[in-house]
Structure 1
Amino acid sequence: MTDERTRILVAEDDRRLAAMLEQLLRSEGYEVVLAHDGQAALHAVLTRPFDLLLFDRGLPVRDGLDVLEALRAQGNAVPALILSALGNPSDRVEGLTRGAEDYLAKPFDIDELLARLRVLRRKSAAPTGGLAVPGGVLHPQRHQVDLGEGRTVVLSERENDLLAMLARRPRQVFTREELLDSVFADADDTGVVDSYVHHLRKKLGRECVLTVRGVGYALGRLP
């Protein structure tokens, strides 16, 4: 059971599966709100607070990843788990890149789903201090960089983990292999590290991550 009443939005167009998930999650102590298409899911999140989001990817009207990306662009950082029949590595990478904290392929194990949701809830509820990064402060548990004057940038899980690793040791230069092993353990090509550095620079500016030629990457210079 959850330790407190946790409100979760379940966006799933398969009504039989949605009803099963609703019954399962209610039995675990969650407050469940259902949406059966992407537009309804977007409207729900924009009009009431949620603690967790559980999205199917192939929603009618508006794709689940499009909805999630729109929410992240507006600064909404509610942790999201994508539940999808598309389970190839490239599908999972796309889901995580576009703002999901976790990705689980259908068919899924119920105990694994519940465990992943508990982990997301603990992460979102845990207190956190900020880490200095060029131009702002990273709050790892919120996957968010505060830039000052009310401006924020929301990061995907992998962007967040990569920047946090650099920020926790701002004077250290990490090789691509070290970053691959620590942040991208499910990948086997250091090119994914370069891709996520590119994503971070697009969101936060080129100065946020420093390239050390012949070695790897380090946090950009702090003021």
Structure 2
Amino acid sequence: MLLLTGMGSVHDRVDGLDAGADDYLVKPFDLDELTARLRALCRRSLEATDVLRIGSGRLHVGRREVVLADGERIALAAREFTLMWALARRPDTVYSRAELRRIVFEEAHAPSIVDTYVYYLRRKLGRRAVRTVRGLGYRLGAL
């Protein structure tokens, strides 16, 4: 929750945050700051969530498994999970192989490691689970 208010004393801000607000913005405010704070709140909620939607399926973070629309549960190996989690956290982002290697496989030297694990995920979850964006990299698909 983002609290927008004209009450800007330190005491007011402390009271607002202690009352349950996640952030506090005093009027008048700049629209760019408001949208940046909203993006930050959305990122925080994604980091804290235990279930991420992937089309009609779900990625259960605590259990490292995917639950398909029909209820079938598919366990993921540690690196498969980390790759899927990275894609699911920002489903509209296209990641280059280099970015995914840095995020998921930082100790790996071969760039092909990303392609290998995308193959593993597609084999387990279906071809549509990870989308290839020609010339750019990969992004989350659908289950």
TM surpasses 0.5: yes
**Separation of aligned partners in 2, 1:152 and 1:206:** 17
- Contact in 1 for aligned 2:56/2:142 (Cα 8 Å): no
Task: Name the counterpart of 1:187.
Answer: 108
SS in 2 for 1:174: coil
Larger relative contact order (Cα-Cα within 8 Å, sequence gap ≥ 6): 2
Choose 1 or 2 for highest CA Rg. Answer: 2
Residue 175 of structure 1 pairs with residue 114 of structure 2: no
Cα distance, 1:132 vs structure 2:
1.1
RMSD of aligned Cα (Å):
1.7
CA distance in 1, matches of 2:55, 2:124: 12
Which residue, 34, 51, 54 being the options, matches 1:130? 51
TM-score (norm. length: structure 2): 0.62
| Other-structure match for 1:147 | 68
What's the offset of the Cα at 1:194?
0.1
Q: Which amino acid aligns with 1:199?
A: Y
Match of 1:218 in 2: 139
Deviation readout 1:89-117 (Å, 9 max, x if unpaired): xxxxxxxxxxxxxxxxxxxxxxxxxxxxx
1-side partners of 2:67 and 2:141: how far apart?
16
| CA distance, structure 1, for counterparts of residue 70 and residue 94 of structure 2 | 31
Gaps of 5+ in 1: 1-126
Measure the CA separation in 1 of the matches of 2:140 and 2:71: 23
The ranges of structure 1 where at least 4 consecutive aligned residues each deviate by more than 4 angstroms after the TM superposition are none
Q: Give the direction of change, closer, same or farther, for the CA distance of 1:160–1:197 in structure 2 (3 Å limit).
A: same
- Structure 2: any 5+ residue segments left out of the alignment? 1-47
User: Which residue of structure 2 aligns with residue 159 of structure 1?
Assistant: 80
Paired AA for residue 92 in structure 2? R
Separation (CA, whole Å) in 2 of partners of 1:138 and 1:219: 12
Deviation at 1:189, TM superposition (A): 1.3
Percent identity reads 47
